[in-house]
Amino acid sequence: MLAKENNINIFCFGFGQVAKNFINKLRSENFKINLSTTSTSKTCKFFLNGFEYENFFLNKESYDESLIKKIKDADYILVSIPPTNGIDLVIKNFSKSIRNCKAKWITYLSATSVYGDHNGEWVNEESITKPTSPSGIARLTAENSWLSLRLNKNLPIQIFRLSGIYSNKSNVLVRLKSGNINLINKKNHFFSRIHVEDIVGILFKSLYSFKSGEIYNISDDKPSSFEEMTLYGVKLLDMNRPKTIETKDIESEMLKNFYKDSKKVSNKKMKSFFNYNLKFPTYVEGLNYIRNNFI
């Protein structure tokens, strides 16, 4: 059990929106934190809402070796760096340090792209993984590396497979208002999503309920098509319907890969194990909250 009165050492590989919101959550719960992070920025002190932390340089070519001691001293390690050119930089550079660390909680943030295409059917953590995109293939390789690392040293490692992340700042309403959005003519295309605040809520729960070696899908209750969600946003903003284009006219390679896969991601294991009630069970609650408070 975490003790609020004691300082806890947290190391975040990568410090994007999930990691930042996670640290804000811990601070809002009055935990005393010693935080270290990595980024491609130079090694130096940074501030998050007035809270000072130490950032260490890391990119695909090199890293600041002084971060190794921070890893070994970490009580909690959050890994949110995606693979680079198919390679997990954390596994590649720091496996030995992690094997020798004292951490009681290591969480690797993966993605539901590892499932690949399931023709719009439901998938759960026992489903076949058959990724179609380069990023999905790299994610699955990284997952297997983390699980192997756990088995070799009996390390406390869990994997969260994140669905499409949206937040109060990054969401379909913002894209609609900017005009930077099209509908895609693709039938039977389903995907799942999750608000960043719910990812953070489950991360926080897992600090108290942890089982090493487990994989959890992190998604909301309502998989849907992008068109369904977007048209709900159109209704909320009282805007005109965006234009529809064919899949062959998609220019972004990432978006092309997105439309190759259709699946509905089950969150039953997540909700049951962590006894977690979603703050935003579907995009309806999420987009209404964003429209009422941030748009």
Does the pLDDT value for residue 191 go beyond 80?
Answer: yes
Q: How far apart are CA 111 and CA 163, in angstroms?
A: 6
pLDDT 10s digits, 89-104: 999 999 999 999 999 9
Phi, psi of 22 (to 5 degrees): -65, -45
Residue 3's pLDDT band, with cuts at 50, 70 and 90, is low
101 within a domain of the structure (yes/no)? yes
Q: Is the pLDDT of residue 234 over 60?
A: yes
- Domain of residue 29, CATH code: 3.40.50.720
Residue 237 lies inside a defined structural domain of this protein: no
Residue 13 and residue 79 in contact, taking contact as beta carbons nearer than 8 Å:
yes
How far apart are the two ends of the chain, measured CA to CA in Å? 39
Residue 259 identity (one-letter amino acid): Y
Structure confidence at residue 153 (pLDDT): 82
Give the count of domains, the chain: 1
Residue 92 belongs to what domain range?
A: 7-165+194-219+265-278
Q: Is residue 124 part of a domain?
A: yes
Of the pLDDT bands very low, low, confident and very high (cuts 50, 70, 90), residue 193 is very high
The answer as to whether 142 is a domain residue is: yes
pLDDT at 4: 61
172 located within any domain: no
Q: Is residue 230 part of a domain?
A: no
Question: For residues 97-108, b (16+ Cβ closer than 10 Å) or e, as one string?
Answer: bbeebebbbbbb
For residue 5, pLDDT over 60 is answered with no
pTM attached to this predicted model = 0.96
Q: Is residue 291 part of a domain?
A: no
Q: Residue 78 in 3-state DSSP?
A: strand
CB 206 within 8 A of CB 159: no
Q: 164-166 and 264-265: which strand pairing? A: unpaired
Structure tokens at 104: 């009681």
- Note whether residue 235 is domain-resident: no
Identify the residue whose tokens are 């088995």.
Answer: 151
- pLDDT, tens digit (0-9, with 9 covering 90-100), for 159-186: 999 999 999 999 999 999 999 899 999 9
Helix (H) or strand (E) holding 32: strand 32-39
Element (H, E) at 24: helix 17-28
